[in-house]
Structure 1
Amino acid sequence: MNEEMKNQTEQLPLLKVHMMGSFFLEYGDQPISFRKTMATKSMRLLQIFLYNKDNGISRGRLLESTYGREDVADAANSLRVGVHRLKRSLVEAGLPQFEYIYTQKGVYHWTSPMPVEVDAIDIKNKILEAGKETDEKARMDQMIEALELYTGEFLADFGEEEWVQAERAQLKKVYSDALKEVSEYLLKNEEFDELQKLTSVASELYPFDEWQAVQMQALIGLERYKEAMKLYEQTSKHYFEELGVTPSEKLVEQYRYLGSRMGSRHRVIEEVQADLQESPGEKGGAFFCSLAGFRDCYRLVYRMSELNGQMPWLMLCTITDGKGYPAKGGPRLDRMSEKLLEVMKRSLRHSDFFAKYSPSQYVILLQGGSQRGCELVYKRISERFSEEKKGWAKNLKYSALPAIQTEKELEFLEGDDVL
């Protein structure tokens, strides 16, 4: 770069390129807006050139990344046209008049009159530099800076391209390895606030990678026990509804530790009462709980029925394939299950409670019910379940029986029959 070009570059605003999460550009303090007519191929080219701005990209790799297995009669000519259109689009979007892309010995290079920062590249570079640092605190500080740039998956809206998937997987590994090392350091030094911030992002981005267990450790360290308990309950529910599995041992271990911590602090009875009560947002409609909570509630109500003589009734509502068999997993079952949950909340009494028993089933306990009462409840649920899509009426069935009489029959609720 000659002296004149260097001075010009230093005077122009910074071009910030955001690739983690949504893809967008900022020139100085202004976002760059491209015309809606800008071709998808041109956007792909821009992403590739910016991500490879330091070393360039060969014509062969560029053609493969841009066109892949598409049947293009003259891919090389299409590439030339695409690059020309991209250059014009950059200027039309508000960037200074400049060449921006040039070729040398079969390699395409990005060049610009202004400095450019790409968050995805910065993440890798910062973590790489941190690995060379001998001072532990300085190394951790650099890694935390890199982790804070990881605000979403790499090019989250452009996941179909093979090169995007490959880079996304590599960046995730770099991120996960760095976060694991940083988490151990922060736990050791009891820097729980920073740990909570970092792991809350990771838990949201990768809900099945068990970062919630580390986030719970941070919340417990901050004595934010209610938040830790809520996180555990939400995670348990999510695991079951999405994967049909119970929480991992790592999460359960944090749950047990949370219980011991919550029990170690002396409280007055008013605090205990406030802790046990439902929040205002939870008080409407029937009580929806986890399957583990349902088992405990069922056994308690059964014991109470021996004293008050009111026999509760157990109902099982099943979403079927329309032929009487349990529906198989997929988007349609997800929609039906969400609808059934919403319907049950407004169809059951305030004193009733229910839980999701399997991906296609909900279990209900009706207080002081009867066979006729179960029939009426099911009729109300079925009508509301199919109020928008009449054909759904054939996709629901139920069974009911009075409170279980023997411990042997109680094995029904032990989870062996969960689909």
Structure 2
Amino acid sequence: MATKKRCQELLHLALRDDPGKLHINMLGGCSLSNGQQSISDQVIRSKKPWLLLEFLIAFRDRELSQNELIEAVYPEGKSENPVNALKTLVHRIRAMLDELHFSDSKNMILQTRGTYMWNNQLNFDVDTELFDQLYTAALESDTEDGDRMECLLAAAHLYSGDLLPKSAMESWVIRLSAYYHSRYLDAVSRLCDLLRRQSRFEDIVTVCRHAVDIDPYEESLYYHLLCALVDLGRHQTALTVYKDMTDLFYREFGVTPSDNLTSLYREIIKSIHTVETDLGVIKEKLREDTAENGAFLCEFEVFKDIYRLEVRAAARTGESVFLCLITLSSAEGVDVPVKALNTNMDRLSSSIKYSLRRGDVYAKYSVAQYLLMLPTITYENCEMVLSRIIRRFRKDAPNCPLQPTFSIQPIDMVL
């Protein structure tokens, strides 16, 4: 019962609707508001005063020496007179805080015996502290699922972004940011599991879209999002999310989705269609949006199905079909940035597309490779086609630091 009461108290605090209280945000940016007036690092651009204010609030549980504060604000020792510079910054912060017209604005920063400290006797709250308390309450063993879910929902809502993004490169911010970010991802994962049990799929979509905006590189968020979209019957939206995710991962990190997500993608493809008796409607759905020239670029999972179909057809007809792999390789010891690799892979894709026939198919196999299928030609002709692709690529990308190579094998004609 005590845990339930504590959860209710925290949920009330998370609403932050007390006009007499100073609300401090550190997640997604730094701002202070008393309901009537507010100051924010988005409006006031002078960095040093904000950095010092953020440090004082973040470590408000203790007195901070002048040396600690100077090291935090001037880690490279650029100030010629750091003690006077610190006093000037404190004066500028107090002037900023005066704009809140808060009753105790003069006493927000305490100074005693050469130390400074945020005044913890003020009527204030901090979003990071509320987030931590909600997260901790949700994980208590005796918290009921309903309260657990509400605490996690409130925590996810409070987390409007990573800690102090304008000071993200400061060493002390990096440590704290990693702590809160890790807790946020865990909170979202636990929350999605609880929401799924109650079939609250729309809420999962809302939570995960917000989370993906904050961390677009966390694969687990996409998994929860895609599952919820499938449960809602929004398969086309799920496919769009999957494609955007794979494009992002390819371009930023040069990685492919995990087997877990790839399997989910295949399930989405299988379940995307409903019963339809009008063959004309089905033909319309099958038709390409635009009559493009050149070969057909598809996802690797689709390529696998086409390959298996070609194997069966070749076993029946005896026609030759070749599987080809084109690879972009860097010279030994040469490190090519991911952006440069992506740019040249796009150029290689264009060279493949417009060097092949409309009936040919190819797919991206890895961050630096494309797979092609070339039917009804000889091995020698296959070599000629691939050489033509490479010549076209070298013409389109004369300064490319990568070397294109290819390999060829006939497909296995297995009945």
TM-score, normalised relative to structure 1: 0.71
Residue equivalent to 1:85: 92
Match of 1:185, as an amino acid? L
- Residue 83 of structure 1 deviates from its aligned partner by 2.0
User: 1:364 aligned to 343, 349, 372, which one?
Assistant: 372
Match of 1:47, as an amino acid? E
What SS does the aligned partner of 2:188 have? Answer: helix
Residue equivalent to 1:49: 56
Q: Distance in 1 between matches of 2:366 and 2:115?
A: 55
Query: Does residue 406 of structure 2 align to residue 399 of structure 1?
Result: yes
Residue equivalent to 1:382: 394
User: 1:155 aligned to 159, 164, 167, which one?
Assistant: 164
Q: Distance in 2 between matches of 1:282 and 1:129?
A: 57
Is the contact made by 1:51 and 1:121 (CA closer than 8 Å) also made in structure 2?
A: no
Residue equivalent to 2:7: none
Residue equivalent to 1:212: 222
Alignment of 1:12-411 (within 5 A): 17-23=24-30, 28=36, 32=40, 34=43, 36=45, 38=46, 40-52=47-59, 55=61, 57-59=63-65, 61-68=68-75, 70=77, 75-88=82-95, 95-96=100-101, 98-99=105-106, 100-104=108-112, 107-110=115-118, 118-128=126-136, 130=138, 134-204=143-213, 205=215, 207-232=217-242, 235=245, 242=253, 244=255, 247-249=258-260, 251=261, 254-255=264-265, 258=268, 266-268=275-277, 270=279, 273=282, 277=286, 280=289, 286-301=295-310, 304=313, 315-321=324-330, 323=331, 328=335, 330-331=337-338, 333-340=340-347, 343-344=350-351, 347-348=354-355, 350-366=358-374, 370=381, 371-386=383-398, 391-392=399-400, 395-399=402-406, 401=408, 404-406=410-412
Match of 1:136, as an amino acid? D
Match of 2:135, as an amino acid? I
Query: Number of matched residues?
Result: 384
Deviations 1:339-376 (A, max 9, x none): 43663476455444322233322233456673444333
- Residue 155 of structure 1 deviates from its aligned partner by 2.4
Structure 1: gaps of 5 or more residues: 1-9, 409-419
What SS does the aligned partner of 2:161 have? Answer: coil
Match of 1:58, as an amino acid? L
What SS does the aligned partner of 1:186 have? Answer: helix
Is the contact made by 1:203 and 1:210 (CA closer than 8 Å) also made in structure 2?
A: no
Q: Distance in 2 between matches of 1:399 and 1:332?
A: 22
- Residue 291 of structure 1 deviates from its aligned partner by 2.9
Aligned-residue CA RMSD in angstroms?
Answer: 4.5
- Residue 243 of structure 1 deviates from its aligned partner by 5.6
Is the contact made by 1:34 and 1:89 (CA closer than 8 Å) also made in structure 2?
A: no
- Residue 150 of structure 1 deviates from its aligned partner by 1.9
Q: Distance in 2 between matches of 1:254 and 1:199?
A: 17
- Residue 147 of structure 1 deviates from its aligned partner by 0.4
TM-score, normalised relative to structure 2: 0.71
Is the contact made by 2:254 and 2:338 (CA closer than 8 Å) also made in structure 1?
A: no
Q: Distance in 2 between matches of 1:345 and 1:22?
A: 46
Match of 1:21, as an amino acid? G
Deviations 1:177-231 (A, max 9, x none): 3223322221111111111221233345153452322223322321223333444
Residue equivalent to 2:10: none
Structure 2: gaps of 5 or more residues: 1-16
- Residue 162 of structure 1 deviates from its aligned partner by 1.8
- Residue identity (%): 20
